[in-house]
Structure 1
Amino acid sequence: MKGIILTEGGEGIGWGHIFRCISLHDALIEKQVEHDFLVNYNGDLKSQKDNPFQVKNWMSQNIVGYDFVIIDSYLADEDYYKNLAKNNKLLVSIDDFMRIKYPNGYVLNGSILADKFSYNRKANTSLLGTKYIPLRKVFWNIGKRKLNQKVKKVFLTFGGEDSFNLSQKVLELIIIENVNITLVLGPNHKHKDEIIQKYNKQASILQNISAQQMRDLMLHADIAISAGGQTTYELAATGTPSILFQVADNQKLNMENWKKAGFISEVIDIEIQNWETLFLKQFNELYLSYNERKYRSSIGQTFVDGQGAKRVANEIMNKLRSNDN
């Protein structure tokens, strides 16, 4: 049995697709399943070490003869997916918002409340909802979160690029006495030198950290402030009370559903006027109320237990075995 994982990342795309595919890679490795792992990467990878994938423009290649293909893409079109389904035994399409009409196979959408989405159930087997969200291996076995009565540490992260420079804008709003602030800057942040020079005394500023370091920062933070992508599920798994920013249109549904679930109280769209007022209202709400932080923490861990990647790997293996019998 042999499979392949196909995804993309880098400048203009970020690392969200790559991170969830790494988690599926780790789950397959744990099951000793042979597979290739290709990433169509835009940018410089020098700052990222020990990657488990090959950088290759797989969209220009003919992917044929695999037992399974896992694809996580916003760039590949419907015809490309149809060719994958035609030329390989099992296609697993990772989706976030019903981007295209997917061909026969599995559709995986681990987004919050994705089990309410109207996928074609006749053509596809759907793996929907946070039960199946693939998280990096260090987030697989997080215990029940214990919170501090008072806020002592605040953690900020806004993705690989942070196109709106929220790192600097939010930092300026929350510098408070007796609160330790840690900011993680992504590898493609265009203002990182300026931020480090200006704020290195007010905050601990980190770059190029490992998944384990990211997990530990979340576990020690009393409040996290983040962009609304894949990181939201890691924050939920660690039970970290969070404030989330919508920084892309494709995050809107995810954010609205986290609000419905109770993990956040408001969706902060960075492109609306006076977003700062809405942000400070949420920040003060969490800063002043232990009970509110405890409630949000419990909601996050109720929805995300970290076992999604293992469940997906099991589903793929069971499907292929049943087809062989």
Structure 2
Amino acid sequence: MKLYLFYDDGAQAGLGHYRRVRALAHRIMRLAHITIESVLCPTQHLESIENLRAFCAQISSEESLGAVVDSYVFGMEHFALLDSVFSRLVCFDDTNRAVYPQGSFILNGAPNAHKLYPAHMPYHLLGLGFALCDEVFAPIMAVREGVRDIFVSFGGSDLDNLSAQILPFIESSVLFSAHNPSVDSAPTIHLVLGRYYAHIPPTSSYLICHRDLSPTQMHALMQRCDIAISAGGGTLIELAASLMPTIMLESAPNQHFQITQFAALGAFKHAQSLTQIPTLIESLAPKTAREYAKATLVGLRLGQEIESALRDIFDLDF
């Protein structure tokens, strides 16, 4: 059987869509009693409805388990076509777009996602119980006395180059102050640049740049770090699953809801501008603050409901 994965990719979209559909596909494969082949379908080749129609004409419904879609490129006509081809359609959503066919399953794993869907139905899979990321992002329980390493990531493309813009604000925090007697040496900033990062990488005496890390490499780097600064996309869920105290900075409008809801839970800090970064770093410097953040994240139970839902949707054996 084949599972078709439609996702936005490239410099304008980053890697979050790809990682979400792959994480869902891995869960399905683990639960299934049959061999399932994932068919990767980047939407930049299928944005034309004619191209999508020609692609779908080659699909055998008897050999298809269904489709998973994570796309802002596709509109109502695209989703209607997919709905006519696949018996099961699961659509990732962040903002309650009015484009999905009736009967398709809508997945939004943001905290309190039900607030976005006032008339939510059983086919809406909403909230942190349905949050998805690669299972390599296991909880990191250890909390060191001081902040020695800072993890920074703004996704696969970072179109606004927040990676460079934020460095002076990090370095102006109390952690880097020569007048702070509690600082034996300044922390190291670990900046993760995504696959589609198109700017000149920044430089600093405190900085190590990492490029296009795999999920396993990302989690290994998180294990070295004490706090994180991140945009509000897929990396935020990975940091939550890893129990990493994090400062969130919005890099795209569709991230706004998830960021505000994580902030309301008290799990993460919300930087509404770069100028707030030094103060928020200082607030996470005490060990007790980071212990509180980890304890809050442990209680969120991310992804606890997804496997039961997948068994029902795809008729997978227990």
TM-score range, shorter chain: 0.7 to 0.9
User: Partner of 1:10: helix, strand, or coil?
Assistant: coil
Alignment of 1:1-325 (within 5 A): 1-30=1-30, 31=32, 32-40=34-42, 56-57=45-46, 60-62=51-53, 63=56, 65=61, 66-103=64-101, 104-118=103-117, 120-122=119-121, 125-139=123-137, 142-143=138-139, 145-175=141-171, 176=176, 177-193=185-201, 195=202, 198-199=203-204, 201-268=205-272, 275-287=273-285, 289-305=286-302, 307=303, 312=306, 314-321=308-315
Change (3 A) 1:143 1:223: closer
The Cα shift of 1:128 comes to 1.0
The Cα shift of 1:160 comes to 1.6
User: Partner of 1:156: helix, strand, or coil?
Assistant: strand
User: Partner of 2:98: helix, strand, or coil?
Assistant: coil
TM-score, reference length from structure 2: 0.83
Contact 1:235 1:300 in 2 (8 A): no
Contact 1:236 1:304 in 2 (8 A): no
RMSD of the TM alignment (CA)?
2.4
User: Partner of 1:18: helix, strand, or coil?
Assistant: helix
What does residue 181 of structure 2 align with? Answer: none
CA displacement, residues 176-217 of structure 1 (integer Å, 9 cap, x when unaligned) = 243122111112222234x2xx32x42111112221110121
The letter for the 2-side match of 1:34 is I
The Cα shift of 1:314 comes to 4.5
The Cα shift of 1:6 comes to 1.1
The letter for the 1-side match of 2:187 is V
User: Partner of 2:275: helix, strand, or coil?
Assistant: helix
The Cα shift of 1:299 comes to 1.9
The letter for the 2-side match of 1:234 is E
TM-score, reference length from structure 1: 0.82
Find the aligned partners of 2:269 and 2:216 in 1 and give their Cα distance.
28
User: Partner of 1:39: helix, strand, or coil?
Assistant: strand
Q: How many residues align?
A: 293
The Cα shift of 1:9 comes to 0.9
The letter for the 1-side match of 2:300 is F
Instruction: State the identity as a percent.
Output: 26
Find the aligned partners of 2:245 and 2:38 in 1 and give their Cα distance.
37
The Cα shift of 1:85 comes to 1.9
| Residue ranges of structure 1 left out of the alignment (5+ in a row) | 43-55, 269-274
Find the aligned partners of 1:294 and 1:127 in 2 and give their Cα distance.
30
Change (3 A) 1:78 1:259: same
Contact 1:130 1:304 in 2 (8 A): yes
Find the aligned partners of 2:200 and 2:41 in 1 and give their Cα distance.
26
User: Partner of 2:249: helix, strand, or coil?
Assistant: strand
The Cα shift of 1:33 comes to 4.3
